[in-house]
Structure 1
Amino acid sequence: MPGLLLGDVFPNFEADTTIGQIKFHDFLGSSWGILFSHPRDFTPVCTTELACAAKVSDEFKKRGVKMIALSIDSVEDHHNWSKDVMAFNSEAEGALPFPIIADHKRVLSVQLGMLDPDEIDKDGLPLTARCVFVIGPDKKLKLSILYPATTGRNFDELLRVIDSLQLTAQKKVATPVDWKPGQKVMVIPSLSDSEAAALFPNGVTTKELPSGKKYLRYTQP
């Protein structure tokens, strides 16, 4: 994603969407945000993805995360396709619970590094890849994942990483491999043992290692 790195302020773009014209920072307000792109409306993998996103939208809402999707199709196509997306979810009712950005001129797709050079439309133009951007309340980029058009995302994983991002934004901890909410976390190396003891009343345990270095410190958040 050329020009957009972790910690950068996310562009405050204006765009047409299924809920009308938006200015991105105003749309987010003081919330976290997740922007995810898909290659094309009325395509199989994209339909399964947005149907899943709609199904778990309440989980993002619980975490104070506003969702918004993007592809190169028109607002009209987005509205029509949304009916297919919701029909795919047999238990879902009503309208798609998040807006979709119409980027038919590929302005945002280029700006944000979203185009997949290996996926070409009938006019020979590249389609959007499956990008994920998580933006914090400070409007800075907290996480980015780039999937090719051929590979559908795992929304359980996106919820997991948001749980990690939100926890580690508040506490001086890091989450280990395969971490899930409720499990132990790791004390960051920059904290001394005395600082860690003061910050974590549930206690800190240290794993003994052959090196003798005591850098694997765990606590219950």
Structure 2
Amino acid sequence: MVFDRAAGRVVAERQARRVFRSASVVKILLALDYLQGREVSAGDRKLLGVMLRSSDDRAATELWRRGGQRRVIERMVRRVGLRETAPPPADKPGFWGYTAISAGDVVRTYRYLLDEAPVGQREFVLEQLRKSTPCGMDGFDQTFGIPRAVPRPWAVKQGWSGFGDTPAEPCRGGQVRQVAARPDLGIGRPVLHTTGVVGEKIVVVLTLHPAGTSFRAAAGRVTEIAGQLL
């Protein structure tokens, strides 16, 4: 989905209510929930910053725990007016990346961030998304989709899941944190998402790929789609 804020309307959409697992796109909701109505320490801001800029999973897990896990999503669904977004399955309470999202709801989230969130929250989150690092903390390249399709300025939050715990081609140009292996949940198909703000447009591309698709192949396809849209 592409929403043009200047025109006040959707200018492109396809299966905008189809549900995907969120992967790291949910970190925007995590940040907005944590920033709501509380004093945020310097340590908290550091944790939020690395989660948004470099997609740090450890930071997300800590904020997910502090927020009461599924209650984070329940609060944000009410606050933002989300339709398809739902917490992870009951038997996977700790897996924030299995939050259900749709392109329409991600657009609504960005519209809330840009137009309704308190100014301090908006400025902080957008600043981090504008500084999205080339490499995620798990070694995956974050420059697919919007960042590769168009030059800055943009503010983006990427998401990936199902490509293994370590990349086949580690990203270069950033510090990489080693991540402990997670249990095989049998999902079987990888997702790759690119979302963000480009000028006056909110752009959301959520994709599900055949089992065994490489990160390189999926990233190339998502970049192609983002380029076509933009």
Is TM > 0.5 for Structure 1 vs Structure 2? no
Higher relative contact order (CA 8 A, sep 6+): 2
What TM-score range do you get, normalising by the shorter chain?
Answer: under 0.3
TM-score by length of 1: 0.28
Say which structure is richer in helix.
Answer: 2
